[in-house]
Amino acid sequence: MADLTTDFVGIKSPNPFWLASAPPTDKEYNVRRAFEAGWGGVVWKTLGAEGPPVVNVNGPRYGAIYGADRRLLGLNNIELITDRPLEVNLEEMANVKADYPDRALIASIMVPCEEKEWKAILPRVAETGCDGIELNFGCPHGMSERGMGSAVGQVPEYIEMVTRWCKQYYDRPVIVKLTPNITDIRYPARAAHNGGADAVSLINTVSSITSVNLDTMSPEPSIDGQGSHGGYCGPAVKPIALNMVAEIARDPETRGLPISGIGGVTTWRDAAEFLALGAGNVQVCTAAMTYGFRVVQEMASGLSQWMDEKGITSVDEVVGRATPNVTDWQFLNLNYIAKAKINEDLCIKCGRCYAACEDTSHQAIAMSEDRTFSVIDEECVACNLCVNVCPVEECITMEKMPNGATDPRTGKVVDDTYSNWTSHPNNPAATAAE
């Protein structure tokens, strides 16, 4: 079995699976059980400043999006940071850390954007013995209305300023948690980097309304007939998170900045994908909230099995393996030519590929009297839509055309040499081909 031990910014944990700051990490009882179930670390539910804690709504805080058979695909919440007193949380954190020295324990913090507030809380957090802190600049609801959370995360200057304070008043690793509710994730990441952050973590939740009740005309979740936008998470947000992780991993200004990947991690495979795109570990919230703490066991066994099969012996070796393959559109090889191919033996003759291509794409699929479906190479642009809508795995595949063959659509001979948009004749700004 491959070794899953992880060293993330100097913080060691037996595996790369941490619980994200959220209800699963809101108290000692949960965190102890999480560690017993096998989680490598936790980011404690976000702490607020000293004084009366925030209050949550007393009605539903979650809304959900389902797939077939009521599989939960997306969760939305309007919960705030911890609503338990600061002292209670700090004491519990110290207890847990003392009993689980081999697990990572991170304090998530969100206090108003004033130096004195941060200066006040940091030493108290340090006393718990936790391994580092995470600055919650991400929460998109409630706290943002009070000038915290994503209200800070959306202003790179604030991020940099607060990160600097933290580096000044706290001597262990500082992780900055980013909000996805922004147009270009590289700016807040750069700000964190410039402020001296040891790492960034992302994503926090995506602003959303899950649904509208058409009888009451209230958005869901509904509190006494009204709703508020909440934060979306779970499997549905993974593609958004993966892209943001990759953007930061390959940005020349932040390249090498450690990343904790968050957003929709549900299985070992999701985790491996985050790692491959450059995350040094992953954090999980919705999967644990949907299936319980035991899901980590599948994540660990699956990742280790996969690593064994690939001959990979440490998590570090996975990190960033796919990053070099993420590029800009303009650098994609335009001489790579493929055609869809339908395997008639596997085809169940549903005709979904035909409907998709005929109605909405390139009229490149032919249908015979006896419902045999075949690709018309003269029309096929290899868009992949038929593959995506086909219910049978591997039934439709994309086949690369060999060097020297003639593409019947364009009449051009396939040339295996790499060539991209930057040198394409149709590009007004084209440079000469190398």
Partner 1 sequence: MANSRLTPGVVAQRLGDQDYSRNFADKDPLLDTHEAAVAADRCYFCHDAPCVTACPTDIDIPMFIREIQTGNPQAAARTILEQNILGGMCARVCPTEQLCEEKCVREVAEGKPVEIGRLQRYATDTLMSADVHPFTRGAATGKKVAVVGAGPAGLSAAHRLAMKGHDVVIFDAREKPGGLNEYGIATYKTADNFAQREVDWLMQIGGITIETGKALGGDLTLDGLRGDYDAVFLAIGLAGVNALRAEGEEKTHVTDAVDFIAALRQAGDFGSVPVGRDVVVIGGGMTAVDAAVQSKLLGAEHVTMVYRRGRDAMSASEYEQDHAASKGVRIITGAAPLRLHGNGAVAEIEFAYTEAGPDGLTLTDNTFRLKADQVFKAIGQTLDGVPAGLELTGRKISVTGAGRTSLTGVWAGGDCAAGGDDLTVTAVAEGRDAAEDIHATLMGG
Ligand X SMILES: Cc1cc2nc3c(=O)[nH]c(=O)nc-3n(C[C@H](O)[C@H](O)[C@H](O)COP(=O)(O)O)c2cc1C
Structure tokens at 112: 């108003």
Distance CA(275)–CA(418), nearest Å, equals: 28
Contact 293, 37 (CB under 8 A): yes
Contacts of ligand X in 262-281 (CB under 6 A): 262-265
Quick note: the x/- pattern for ligand X over 310-339, rule CB under 6 A, is: ------------------------------
Distance CA(379)–CA(397), nearest Å, equals: 16
Distance CA(403)–CA(308), nearest Å, equals: 35
User: Taking the CB of residue 379, how many other CB atoms lie within 10 A of it?
Assistant: 16
The distance from CA 190 to its chain's CA centroid, rounded to whole angstroms, is 18
Contacts of ligand X in 354-413 (CB under 6 A): none
At residue 276, what are phi and psi to the nearest 5 degrees?
Answer: -60, -35
Distance CA(41)–CA(401), nearest Å, equals: 48
Contacts of partner 1 in 279-318 (CB under 8 A): 291-292, 294-295, 297-298, 301-302, 305-306
Tell which one of 45, 141, 190, 193 touches ligand X (CB under 6 A): 45
Among 130, 139, 380, 395, the active-site one is 139
Quick note: the x/- pattern for ligand X over 168-207, rule CB under 6 A, is: ---------x--------------------------xx--
Q: Is 71 a binder of partner 1 (CB under 8 A)?
A: yes
Q: Which stretch binds partner 1 (CB under 8 A): 25-33, 45-53, 200-208, 267-275?
A: 267-275
Virtual torsion, Cα 118, 119, 120, 122, nearest 10 deg: 70
Contacts of ligand X in 101-130 (CB under 6 A): 108
Q: What's the angle, vertex CA 260, arms to CA 257 and CA 261, rounded to 5?
A: 120
DSSP 86: H
State the minimum distance, in angstroms, from the CB of residue 288 to partner 1. 12
The helix/strand count (H/E) of the chain reads as 13, 22
Q: Which does 63 bind (CB under 5 to 8 A by kind): ligand X, partner 1, none?
A: none
Judging by DSSP bridges, how do beta strands 373-375 and 365-367 pair with one another?
Answer: antiparallel
Distance CA(153)–CA(129), nearest Å, equals: 27
**Bridge partners (DSSP) listed for residue 399:** 339
Q: Does residue 139 have an active-site annotation? A: yes
Nearer to partner 1, 305 or 388 (CB): 305
Q: Which does 72 bind (CB under 5 to 8 A by kind): partner 1, ligand X, none?
A: none
State the minimum distance, in angstroms, from the CB of residue 269 to partner 1. 6
State the minimum distance, in angstroms, from the CB of residue 308 to ligand X. 26
Distance CA(349)–CA(374), nearest Å, equals: 11
Nearer to partner 1, 40 or 132 (CB): 40
Catalytic residues: 139
Site residues, ligand X (CB under 6 A): 20-23, 45-46, 75, 77, 79, 81, 108, 136, 138-139, 177, 204-205, 233-234, 237, 262-265, 284-287
Q: Which residues bind partner 1 (CB under 8 A)?
A: 69, 71, 267-269, 291-292, 294-295, 297-298, 301-302, 305-306, 392-393
